[in-house]
Amino acid sequence: MHRVLVIGAGPAGLAHAFWRSRDPRTEVVVLEASDRPGGNVLSERRDGYLCEWGPQAVRPTAAFEELTAALGVEDLLVPSRPSVSRRWVGRRGRLIEMPSGPGGFLTSGVVSLPSRLRAIGELFVRSSEGAVDESVADFVARRFGKGMVPLAGAMVSGIFAGKVEDLEMRSAFPAMLDIERESGSVLKGMAKRAKARKARGESSKPSLVTFDRGMDGLVAALCGHVAPRCEAPAQRIGREGSRWVVELASGERVDGDELVVTVPAWIAAELLGDVDADLTAELAGIPSAPIVNVYLGQDRDAGNDRLRGFGFLLDQSEATAVLGTIYASELFDGHAPDGKSLFRVMLGGARHPGVLDADEQVVRDAAAAALVSYGRAADEFDFVHTVRIPRAIPQYVRGHGARMERIDARVARHPGLVLAGNSYRGVALGDQLGRPTPLDVAEVA
């Protein structure tokens, strides 16, 4: 029997194990450090509120749809309410609704009129290759004008919790560069893609989905097919002849023909120290940013329009460590008790890493203050809960693409070794679920 060792039972490890174990000639062993599978996907229920630690929802990408179909759990999926298409951005102390189309954009106050006109002028900006490590800020300035960079910064912090001037365009948003290359203009290309989606009947699909019990429904579904060994932290990885050997903290050794390492890059760097020092150095160079989630619950204020929709993101120059807020109970039913609202305020990121160590009261006060001042929420909360995630989101900073090329070259020297997970090519959950290409077993042997 061909044995595949998977280290880490987060979404990447579980999905990888699920797909590989469909081949009856393959035995898959999943080793997980913590006492539960799921990694950053954790749905915690408290006092009738559903607090998601990681993803609040997932975009139903092709990989996600293929996986849920293979798992047979499509009927457990819950679409987001249509109102989540409403999004807000906080600038200069107030919330402005994000316009939904170019017409609305021109009349909105989301940025100054000259900046809006310049942004629409993107249609006529000649396509020119940016630097290979062009930052997201430089890309936005090149295509849409400098006036759009703060808005892009707010949107980027909602995905990467990162700095728009540090993140690398080709690694963080490769699809945008493809669109620019194909159509000569991002706006033109996006309009073309939207039209094609409509023609395929895809525009009526929900933009986000969750599971009936919360995002950990995905973990439960995967664990119906894959049985990870929890509380089995890998401590060292070695090679003995053609076999991979993983030494656990308990001293036990597990061996296999292939090794799929899905832990975050900084942990992979520690584990692979004996295998390849150059690879280890590259992996250790991928930074990550912390997130502090503060969940606030209160009576639902049905008359407050600012608290309807997906939530708000703040311009990175606002004087707060708050990145934004998801209106969790507006996205899906059942995430708050009847008559209540649940808000998930996120703080920290690459710009405010110090918030990770701030006092509990300081963090809670900052979260509540942002919700009250931007969303005009009532200043009384009957539910407050905080979760701190030290190395939450990998940062694809400038040079990440070149680093990935070096990592690929090092990995290619070690037959049977695979690196997967969100440290490398896609931070979102949906990016971790694709069907892996099985390695050529003859090549591995």
Ligand X SMILES: Cc1cc2nc3c(=O)[nH]c(=O)nc-3n(C[C@H](O)[C@H](O)[C@H](O)COP(=O)(O)OP(=O)(O)OC[C@H]3O[C@@H](n4cnc5c(N)ncnc54)[C@H](O)[C@@H]3O)c2cc1C
> Which residues of the shown chain bind ligand X in the complex (CB under 6 A)?
7-13, 31-34, 39-41, 54-56, 58, 233-234, 262-264, 267, 291, 389, 392-393, 421-422, 427-430, 432
Look at the block and give the residue holding tokens 């000639």: 25
Closer residue to ligand X (CB): 40 or 68? 40
Residue 196 CB-density burial (10 A; 0-12 exposed, 13-18 middle, 19+ buried): exposed
Residue 442 beta carbon to ligand X: minimum distance, rounded to whole angstroms: 29
Residue 315 near residue 323, CB atoms below 8 Å: no
Closer residue to ligand X (CB): 3 or 188? 3
Residue 220 beta carbon to ligand X: minimum distance, rounded to whole angstroms: 15
Residue 409 beta carbon to ligand X: minimum distance, rounded to whole angstroms: 22
Look at the block and give the residue holding tokens 């894959």: 226
Closer residue to ligand X (CB): 40 or 329? 40
Closer residue to ligand X (CB): 307 or 393? 393
Closer residue to ligand X (CB): 161 or 187? 161
Closer residue to ligand X (CB): 185 or 329? 329
According to the 3-state scheme, what is the secondary structure of the chain?
Answer: CEEEEEECCCHHHHHHHHHHCCCCCEEEEEECCCCCCCCCCCEEEECCEEEECCCCCECCCHHHHHHHHHHCCHHHEEECCHHHHCEEEEECCEEEECCCCHHHHHHCCCCCHHHHHHHHHHHHCCCCCCCCCCEHHHHHHHHHCHHHHHHHHHHHHHHCCCCCCCEEHHHHCHHHHHHHHHHCCHHHHHHHHHHHHHHCCCCCCCCCEEECCCCHHHHHHHHCCCCCECCCCEEEEEEECCEEEEEECCCCEEEECEEEECCCHHHHHHHCCCCCHHHHHHHHCCCEEEEEEEEEEEECCCCCHHHCCCEEEECCCCCCCEEEEECHHHHCCCCCCCCEEEEEEEEECCCCHHHHHCCHHHHHHHHHHHHHHHHCCCCCCCEEEEEEEEEEEECCECCHHHHHHHHHHHHCCCCCEEECCCCCCCCCHHHHCCCCCCCCHHHHC
Closer residue to ligand X (CB): 237 or 336? 237
Residue 370 beta carbon to ligand X: minimum distance, rounded to whole angstroms: 17
Residue 306 beta carbon to ligand X: minimum distance, rounded to whole angstroms: 21
Residue 93 beta carbon to ligand X: minimum distance, rounded to whole angstroms: 25
Residue 379 beta carbon to ligand X: minimum distance, rounded to whole angstroms: 25
Residue 245 phi, psi dihedral angles, 5° rounding: -125, 125
Closer residue to ligand X (CB): 31 or 140? 31
Chain residue at closest Cβ approach to ligand X: 10
Residue 223 beta carbon to ligand X: minimum distance, rounded to whole angstroms: 12
Residue 422 beta carbon to ligand X: minimum distance, rounded to whole angstroms: 4
Residue 272 beta carbon to ligand X: minimum distance, rounded to whole angstroms: 11
Closer residue to ligand X (CB): 191 or 230? 230
Closer residue to ligand X (CB): 6 or 141? 6
